[in-house]
Structure 1
Amino acid sequence: MPSTETFRIPKHKRHVHAARQHVRKALADWGITDDHADLVTLLANELVTNAVTHCRVSYAEVRVTLTLDGTALLLEVSDPDRDRLPRVHHSGPDEEHGRGLALVEALADSWGCRQEPYAKCVWARWETRVPAHS
């Protein structure tokens, strides 16, 4: 049976740090503490930052779900701005922003986004060396 950790944060940049801490703790609880944990935490930071930055719904919450199923690790970040699906922006060398999804695209085994009834979800998936706990 898969292991899942879900939490919500208010849609504000000051809460991105708390999201990183939640992700890091969930991964450590599952025995993922190596460079893979650093990678997943980095990309969770990027996806959560995108959600809190670009969601136009006032007083929204961002939902983060991590699922470990066998050796597959899935990160999902959802916000209620369902009609604004993200797309990769290839930033120039002098641009300070816009590299988050390009990082996700480059570093995840697969990624994508989907519209849900009341939200959009951006997800990234990796294979790990640590199987889920039974």
Structure 2
Amino acid sequence: MDQETTIRNLSLLLSPTPRGARLARLLAVEQLRSWDVPSDPAEQIVAELAANAATHGRVPGRDFRLTLYVVGGTLRIEVTDPRGDLLPHATRPAPDATTGRGLLVVAALAGRWGVTPGPHPRKTVWAEVEVPG
């Protein structure tokens, strides 16, 4: 199998807490290192998406899922949470706001990003970055 057809992937369930969001970032960095994929900017994207899932996508007793996969020269980061009724969108917060910039950061760092609804009651927020061959 050559590099164009090799698919590397990781999928983890994590608690929707600040600790779960930090763990998502740390485990993603370790996995990327094992694949010889640079962690920049993926580390920051995972941190933002996991923090959003733990904060805005939280449902008591329901975990969120972090999925990473590399196909060819693209790393896809997906974070799935149980709040499909609450679809995120990037907005510009007030200049003095201390939160609300996560998706703006993701949009600036990723080549592409978006939201995929379902299956009910979930949604997946995803981002893609090019990785060196």
Q: Is TM-score (shorter-chain normalized) higher than 0.5? A: yes
Structure 2 matches for 1:30-109, cutoff 5 A?
A: 30-33=35-38, 37-109=39-111
Match of 1:127 in 2: 130
- Paired amino acid for 2:123: K
Q: SS at the partner of 1:123?
A: strand
The separation in 2 between residues aligned to 1:9 and 1:106, in whole angstroms, is 26
- The CA RMSD measured in Å over matched residues stands at 1.1
Structure 1 alignment gaps of length 5 or more? none
Normalising by structure 1, we get a TM-score of 0.90
The separation in 2 between residues aligned to 1:109 and 1:24, in whole angstroms, is 19
Q: Contact between 2:9 and 2:67, CA under 8 Å: does it hold in 1?
A: yes
**Structure 2 CA distance for partners of 1:56 and 1:31, relative to 1, 3 Å:** closer
Q: Does 1:15 align with 2:20?
A: yes
Normalising by structure 2, we get a TM-score of 0.90
Structure 2 alignment gaps of length 5 or more? 1-5
Deviation for aligned residue 1:67: 0.5
Q: How many residues align?
A: 127
Deviation for aligned residue 1:38: 2.8
- Paired amino acid for 1:9: L
Runs of 4+ more than 3 Å apart: none
The separation in 1 between residues aligned to 2:62 and 2:28, in whole angstroms, is 20
For residues 35-63 of structure 1, the C-alpha deviation after alignment (integer angstroms, 9 at most, x for no partner) is: xx131011100000001101242111010
Match of 1:111 in 2: 113
